[in-house]
Structure 1
Amino acid sequence: MPSTISWIDLDSKARDKTLRILSLFQEKESRDELGLGSVRDSFADQLFPGTSTIQTRLRYMLFVPWIYHSMEEQRLPAESFAIQADKLERDLVQPLMDSDDQAGVFGKTAGKRLKRLPSSVYWAGLGVWGIRITPFSQDEYHRRIDETYRRRNTLKALEKDAKARGDDIDVEQRMATLSWHPRLPAPPEDFPGALNFALSREEAEFIRDRIQVACPKSLLSFLALHCEPADSQAPWEHPDYGSFSEQHKELLTHARLFSEVMHGAALSYNVQLARLRNHEDLAAEHQVRFDEWTANLPLEEIRAWSVSRLWELTMDHGHTITAQTRSFVQQWIDHTRRSPNDLLSNVDALTLVRRREMKLKGTRSRFRNQRALEQWGGYSGVGRLVYRWPNVKVLLNDLSQGMNRDKQC
């Protein structure tokens, strides 16, 4: 019987928070059984700020502000603002499904009954890239829209008086009343009618410029400005890696080594669970994966790796990396450096992984809860950490196609 989660829908804020939590289980890199997410996300946010593993296509970065800007233009009141936004987002589904490119459509399966709206997925990224100017959470933005209208009315009166006196307009004061970037491109005339994911040249230039201004030192900005799209499996395998800055190369080196080493811990976890379930075929499958990992491990590089520098690069970047996490990572690295081939027979190494999961999951640990073990799907966190690269590749490809599109298109 499949497990289900229920909650009492007290308010929209609680609902949105719950849906955000539930959506994490759909992210390919988010099965964080061993508590490595804070390190992973620190790398990802530095390399590719404003992105996430549940963003699908770049033009949603315009669909969302277009919807909200049009509602502000109509001066929809707070009492109906969120309801209308919800409806308009759901109205995007069918036009996108009618287009030639349906990859990444929110609601592709559920249609208008989709649970997670694009605005909640892109809200943070819109702020990071400076497309969204309002500092409020999405729910607070909805609730305070009437206040925004009043502030604009007051500013309009002040500017009228200033003009009569021959004084200059206070640009900063005007910007403070805006929700969206003033140079946001206008939507297509029939929006949200016939719709697709193809960015116009103007739209692509706007997004590229926003990334460049808001995140100038990021690898995302460098790739958007200087590189053609690449279909590599990881960012450190990009064909233009040689032209990356030394800062980016260092960050990617540590990200790669962290991914390489901790992949073994995830494989150990799966092997142990398969053994505990007495699932011989699955245990053998994970054993093969583990053997492949050890055979390809860059052991000399790992032994020379400065783990203290790893923490210097990842801590204090908006993610809390606890002392317990650092200790777990360090101990696993130490075991790996000594003898990676013995990790599945090393009692201390096996216990390290087991205790880490038990500490994180408590009574829901698969090592101590038989029902949780029975519900285990057989594969937990077995994908290598690549720091949102599959999603970033799609966004960069959308951007490149827009930049190469005829200006009249």
Structure 2
Amino acid sequence: MPSILAWIDHDAKARERTLRILSLFQEKESRDELGLGAVRDSFADQLFPGTSTIQTRLRYMLFVPWMYDALEKRRLTAKQFAVQADKQERDLVQPLMDSGDQAGVFGKNAGKKLKRLPSSVYWAGLGIWGIRMTPFSQDEYHRRIEETHRRRNALLLYEKDAKARGDDIDVERRRDALSWHPRLPAPPDDYPARADFALSREEAEFIRDRIRVACPGSLLSYLALHCAPADSAAPWAHPDFGRFSKQHQELLTHARLFSGVMHSAALSYNILLARLRSQDGLVAEHQARFDQWAATVPLGEIRAWSIDRLWALTVDHGHAITPRTRAFVRQWIEHTRKAPADLLSNAEAMRLIETREMALKGARSRFRNRRALEQWGGYSGVGRLVYRWPNVKVLLQDLHQGLHRRA
């Protein structure tokens, strides 16, 4: 199936259109109905650490620490700190909406009533990229802010005494007292009254360097350092693929094959449900997608594919890929290797899909629960896995534009 994602160029309207399509893609097509999320995320975290499918724009990686750094200087109580953080994130919506580029604004539709705040979306990535230095979860950071103030007071007294004695400053102790990277660029003078997504060159260089230092072996780091943004539907279709390291090429090859094979499992699941609902039009729609998949599947590669190597590359990389998941994947690959075009008429293969979904959903299985079947929207996980690539393209484009900005 051809990608529905257009490249994000320098035009704000084009970026907005792509992010809107991406949002629909995530909501309707990327659900993990067959329990493949651990494999998917293992690939994605190795390739693009610190990213997620709900990150929208790169400058949020600075908006969040700017907000918290300013609040820390006010020395608020823990209760006040959390309340003010919540308020300031909601207050940021309107300045971003007033900018010339509204694509990716958290709260674009909900305004100050948005349910998920950017800080919660970017918190993990900020830690992985080394911008956030506090090791705590966001809630714990809020709760322990008064402890942070006390620790810094003690540090000031310690350093004052050390200076009086002529002793050297304990760099590690000072570092432990930081919540945010010491070279975090200062916000613009008119921030947060005015805000947009355009990174300054200093800001872009800071983020690029954080990715380089914190994620040195990742494809994200290589792309940020060496490649211009590319118009490709998937990371393995990047025009610089031949320049990638052998490690990245191998990882992407396995990611591509996994995406391709398991796409047919997702389509088969949707066809089975559409048949149960007696929706002939929907059956035909999913069947057409399946037929297109069967006509283009790289069968020679799949038959030569080392499944043991797939697990060597994905297991024990921060995600628990269970034996049941591995067994399901292996069995589906074996069915595919025999006759991909005949999967839908293969009773054993269809039973594999049903039993997998029933094992995962239990009483909520759409094969068992009529109400759950009636509530099904008609499209579950029918998009090909591309491992956050649409989001990563947006972030890299923002970075590229900042690095090439004059000031």
TM-score range, shorter chain: over 0.9
Alpha-carbon distance, 1:181 to partner: 0.2
CA contact (8 A) 1:106 1:117 kept: yes
Letter in structure 1 aligned against 2:93: V
- 1:73, distance to aligned residue in structure 2 (A): 1.0
Q: How far off is 1:26 after superposition?
A: 5.6
Amino acid at match of 2:97: M
**C-alpha distance after superposition, 1:126-147 (max 9, x if no partner):** 0000000000000000000000
Partner of 1:19: none
Runs of 4+ in 1 over 4 A off after TM superposition: 25-30
CA–CA separation in structure 1 for the residues paired with 2:73 and 2:394: 32
Cross-structure match for 2:281: 281
Q: Distance in 2 between matches of 1:26 and 1:389?
A: 12
SS of 2:103's equivalent in the other structure is coil
Task: Report the 3-state secondary structure (helix = DSSP H, G, I; strand = E; otherwise coil) of the residue aligned with 2:34.
Answer: coil
| Shift, 1:29, TM fit | 6.2
Instruction: Name the counterpart of 2:301.
Output: 301
Question: Is residue 372 of structure 1 aligned with residue 372 of structure 2?
Answer: yes
What residue is the counterpart of 1:199 in the other structure?
199
Q: Distance in 2 between matches of 1:132 and 1:29?
A: 32
Change (3 A) 1:30 1:150: farther
CA positional deviation for 1:320:
0.2
Change (3 A) 1:390 1:325: same
Q: Is residue 162 of structure 2 the alignment partner of residue 162 of structure 1?
A: yes
Question: Residue 229 of structure 1 contacts residue 396 of structure 1 at CA under 8 Å; is this kept in 2?
Answer: yes
- Provide the C-alpha distance between the structure 1 equivalents of 2:400 and 2:40, rounded to a whole number of angstroms: 27
CA distance 1:34–1:292, shift in 2 (3 Å):
same
The Cα of 1:178 is off from its aligned counterpart by 0.4
Counterparts in 2 of 1:7-406, with a 5 A limit? Answer: 30-406=30-406
Aligned AA (1:61) = M
**d(CA) in 2 for partners of 1:123 and 1:191?**
21
Deviates more, 1:104-113 or 1:185-194: 185-194
Supply the AA of the counterpart residue of 1:162: A
TM-aligned CA deviation for residue 366 of structure 1: 0.5
User: Which residue identity lines up with residue 287 of structure 2 in the other structure?
Assistant: Q
Residue pair 1:29, 1:385 contacting (<8 A) in 2 also = no
What residue number does 2:18 align with? none
Number of residue pairs the alignment of both structures matches: 385
Q: Which amino acid aligns with 2:183?
A: R
Aligned to 1:4: none
Report deviation, 1:106.
0.2
1:379 CA drift (Å): 0.6
- TM-score normalised according to structure 2 size: 0.93
Name the SS of the counterpart of 1:105 in structure 2.
Answer: coil
- Report the Cα distance in structure 2 between the residues aligned to 1:103 and 1:87, rounded to whole angstroms: 22
* C-alpha distance in structure 2 between counterparts of 1:371 and 1:149, whole Å: 53
Partner deviation per Cα, 1:169-214 (whole Å, 9 max, x = no partner): 0111000010000000000111111110000000000000000000
- Show CA shifts across 1:269-292 (max 9, x none): 001001111111111111111110
Distance of 2:77 and 2:129 partners within structure 1: 27
Instruction: Return the alpha-carbon distance in structure 1 between the equivalents of residues 44 and 102 of structure 2.
Output: 27
Aligned-partner Cα distance in 1 for 2:261–2:121: 30
User: Partners of 2:173 and 2:28 in 1: how far apart?
Assistant: 43
**Alpha-carbon distance change, 380 to 342 in structure 1, aligned in 2, over 3 angstroms:** same
What secondary structure is seen at the aligned counterpart in 1 of 2:287?
Answer: helix
Contact 2:78-2:145 at 8 Å conserved across structures: yes
Q: Structure 1 residue 79: deviation in Å?
A: 1.9
Q: Give the Cα separation in 1 of the matches to 2:41 and 2:30.
A: 10
* CA deviation after TM superposition for structure 1 residue 295, in Å: 0.3
Instruction: Tell me if the contact between 2:29 and 2:379 (Cα under 8 Å) persists in the aligned partners.
Output: no
Amino acid at match of 1:54: I
Residue type of the alignment partner of 1:402:
G
Contact 2:204/2:403, CA 8 A, preserved across alignment? yes
- For residue 76 of structure 1, report the CA deviation from its aligned partner: 1.4
Distance 1:193 1:70 in 2: 14
SS of the residue 2:191 aligns to: coil
Identity of paired residues, percent? 77
1:165 CA displacement: 1.0
SS for the counterpart of 2:345 is coil
8 Å CA contact 1:274–1:378 kept in 2: the answer is: yes
1:238 counterpart letter in structure 2: H
Mapped partners of 2:27, 2:123: distance in 1: 17
Partner SS state of residue 373, structure 1: helix
1:13 maps to: none
Tell whether the 8 Å contact from 1:30 to 1:37 is kept in structure 2 after alignment: no
Secondary structure of 1:343 counterpart? helix
Superposed displacement of residue 356, structure 1: 0.3
- Quick one: which amino acid aligns to residue 121 of structure 1? V
Report the 3-state secondary structure (helix = DSSP H, G, I; strand = E; otherwise coil) of the residue aligned with 2:96: helix
5+ unaligned residues in a row in structure 1: which ranges? 1-22
CA distance in structure 2 between the partners assigned to 1:337 and 1:168 by the alignment: 66
CA contact (8 A) 1:56 1:391 kept: yes
Q: Which amino acid aligns with 1:79?
A: K
Counterparts of 1:236 and 1:337 in 2: how far apart (Å)?
Answer: 22
Aligned alpha-carbon RMSD (Å):
1.3
Letter of the structure 2 residue corresponding to residue 84 of structure 1: Q
